[in-house]
Amino acid sequence: MSRPRTGTLRRKRSTQGVSFGVQFNYRGDSHYVHFGGSWEGWTEERAVKEQSFVMAKVNRREWTPPPRDPAPAKPAQAPTFQLVASEWLHRHKLKAGDPEGASTTIRDLEWRLAVVMDRFGPVPADRVDFALAEDLVAELCEERLAIERARERCEPLMESYADPRTGRRHERRKRGLANSSIRKGLDAAERVLRDARKRGVIGEVPELKAAAPKAERPSRSFLEPEQIAAVLRAADAIEAEHRGLTWEDVHMIRSSETSAVALARELGVSDTLIGKVRRGELWKDRAEPRNRNDVPRRVVVETLILAGPRISEFCGLLGGHVDAAGGRLRIPREATKTDAGERVVSLVPALRERIVEHRLDYPSGPAEPAFPTRNGTAQRPDNVRSRILAPIHARANELLAADGRLPIVHMTPHTLRRTFASILAAANVPPRRAMYLLGHTDAKLTLSVYQQVLDMGAGSIDVLEGFLGCSLAEACDVLTGRHLVAISYPQARESSGRIDA
């Protein structure tokens, strides 16, 4: 017969006092029964009596160990939103036949997901909900407000970005997200979660777009005829200020008896440069490199206004896309957003003449940029906005103020594109043709968004026809291609021997 168990009285000291309990072995397992603490009235004598009582029950096999709680099963955690979104985007690329993600549609999806990725990315997909979307919207609205206040203080916030073509990093002004952009980001997130639900990854799909701020109808800017004239005058003035010497200037300097100071004042250069040119130290056998700011400006804004390419399309134009002799500008498919974006735009006389002059000053091969920078490289959208359009915008407002006219509030490359659409409407170009010239797939978009009504007050028609280089009726013939028919049809009739008397 085995000895009766007596157990071991355990005393544990704490900040509240001493707690008592008994420890013993029972059926091969060690057990501990807690009695209580001194702050509950337990003493050494009471603990000894309780030990004897418990151990007597153990020895009589009347004591039952408490049931052990089963270890909770570890729930399978859903993958993060970033992982789910990456897999969804990869499948989307494969379905679209664009595994490299080079198309505009895929790049747009990547941009939309980037709007929400910082907040949603590390969160499990099943925990992305309406509250998380509301927090994201609040953050983006606060960031936009901070950017606007910094701009009002003339202390714009800057951000660093990498040029995808060169890998070099640049600084640019931060821009807050519009309400419509926030909504697009939440819409993309919903698409990802709907796909995850179909695949059994999550249960329910929250209504994330309900957290987006109301998208106000945008105020789409365009230029009136007098504003267009001011923009072109401003471009000419800035070009003249920064224009370097030409061979004509060099011949004039060397043949003129005017003093170097007077010539320097007339040409906008230093008298030292005039002296070096006269002595043959410069411009002897070849033209000197252009000044840093001696870049074409007028032809850039005139092409955007009178041909209407998107800024990405403009920057992608090569010499082979510009037929100055034939008066045509071809927008290639690789530079457009859709298949409908590939188009040929007939050049009105003024733009055609300007491009001919530009090609003489900046000759380029078929595979070289048609509108290069000073270094011969292709233009970038940010370069056009900040280096070309921004100074012209400021100078044009000065000219308008001097004439007692209202300033141009907003001027971007798309402002000039909308102006082209308005010119199409003023010239009575049919909507179907306007849709083609703008590279749209739906005529309703052309009519509802782009064709603003130009103010054709007294003298406005003359101003408009002045920078078109022709009348509105003639511009309509050019833009619709009827001028080509008028030329080719009599020639065809003559060659067939059926010319009427």
Q: Would you give the DSSP letter of residue 168?
A: -
* Residue-averaged pLDDT of the chain: 83
Estimate the crossing angle of helix 81-95 against helix 104-120, to 10 degrees.
Answer: 170
- Tell me, what amino acid is at 423? I
Q: Cα–Cα distance between 184 and 115 in angstroms, integer?
A: 9
Structure tokens, 274? 């005039």
Domain ranges of the chain: 8-59, 81-211, 245-289, 298-484
DSSP lists the bridge partners of residue 10 as 21
What sign for the dihedral angle of Cα 387, 388, 389, 390? positive
Rg (CA), the chain: 38
Q: Cα–Cα distance between 40 and 268 in angstroms, integer?
A: 98
Q: What pLDDT, in 10s, does the model give residues 367-423?
A: 999 998 877 888 899 889 988 999 999 999 999 999 988 899 889 999 999 899 889
Of 271, 218, 251, which is closest to residue 410 (Cα–Cα)? 218
Q: Say if CB 186 and CB 133 are below 8 A apart.
A: yes
Determine the distance from the C-alpha atom of residue 330 to the mean position of all C-alpha atoms in its chain, rounded to a whole number. 25
Determine the distance from the C-alpha atom of residue 191 to the mean position of all C-alpha atoms in its chain, rounded to a whole number. 21
DSSP lists the bridge partners of residue 171 as 160
Strand 17-26's sheet: what is its strand order? 8-14, 17-26, 29-37
- Tell me, what amino acid is at 421? A
Residue 486's pLDDT is: 46
Q: What pLDDT, in 10s, does the model give residues 189-243?
A: 999 999 999 988 888 899 998 888 876 655 668 888 999 999 999 998 888 777 7
Q: Cα–Cα distance between 223 and 205 in angstroms, integer?
A: 45
Structure tokens, 380? 């970038």
Q: Say if CB 352 and CB 327 are below 8 A apart.
A: yes
SS3 state of residue 484: helix
Element (H, E) at 140: helix 130-152
Of 447, 418, 417, 419, which is closest to residue 435 (Cα–Cα)? 447
Pinpoint the alpha helices (H) of 153-224: 179-198
Q: Would you give the DSSP letter of residue 318?
A: B
Residue 500's pLDDT is: 37
Residue 288's pLDDT is: 60
Q: What angle do CA 375, 377, 382 make, to 5 degrees?
A: 105
Residue for token pair 């471009």: 235
Measured CA to CA in angstroms, residue 176 lies from 92, 121, 218, 276 at distances of 28, 20, 15, 50
Determine the distance from the C-alpha atom of residue 493 to the mean position of all C-alpha atoms in its chain, rounded to a whole number. 52
pLDDT tens for the chain, residues 1 to 501: 567 778 888 888 888 888 988 888 887 788 888 888 888 888 989 888 988 888 888 888 888 887 766 655 545 678 999 999 999 999 988 988 888 888 878 888 999 999 999 999 999 999 999 999 999 999 999 999 998 888 888 788 888 877 766 778 888 888 888 888 999 999 999 999 999 999 888 888 999 988 888 766 556 688 889 999 999 999 988 887 777 677 778 888 888 888 888 888 877 777 888 888 888 877 777 666 566 667 889 999 999 999 999 999 999 999 999 998 889 999 987 767 666 678 999 999 999 999 998 888 788 888 999 998 877 888 899 889 988 999 999 999 999 999 988 899 889 999 999 899 889 888 888 888 888 898 887 776 666 655 566 556 657 888 888 989 999 999 999 999 876 544 444 444 344 343 332
Q: Would you give the DSSP letter of residue 128?
A: -
Residue for token pair 């043959």: 280
Of 435, 436, 410, 426, which is closest to residue 467 (Cα–Cα)? 426
Of 462, 452, 400, which is closest to residue 426 (Cα–Cα)? 452
The pairs formed by 41-45 with CB atoms below 8 angstroms and a separation of 24 or more are 44/20
Q: Cα–Cα distance between 185 and 110 in angstroms, integer?
A: 10
Residue 299's pLDDT is: 94
Residue for token pair 């800024």: 311
Q: Cα–Cα distance between 380 and 373 in angstroms, integer?
A: 9
Q: What pLDDT, in 10s, does the model give residues 430-442?
A: 888 888 898 887 7
User: Among residues of the chain, what percentage have pLDDT more than 90?
Assistant: 32
Of 143, 146, 126, 145, which is closest to residue 135 (Cα–Cα)? 143
Q: Say if CB 254 and CB 278 are below 8 A apart.
A: yes
Residue 499's pLDDT is: 34
Residue 441's pLDDT is: 77
- Tell me, what amino acid is at 2? S
Q: Cα–Cα distance between 253 and 270 in angstroms, integer?
A: 13
The CATH architecture annotation of domain 298-484 reads Orthogonal Bundle (1.10)
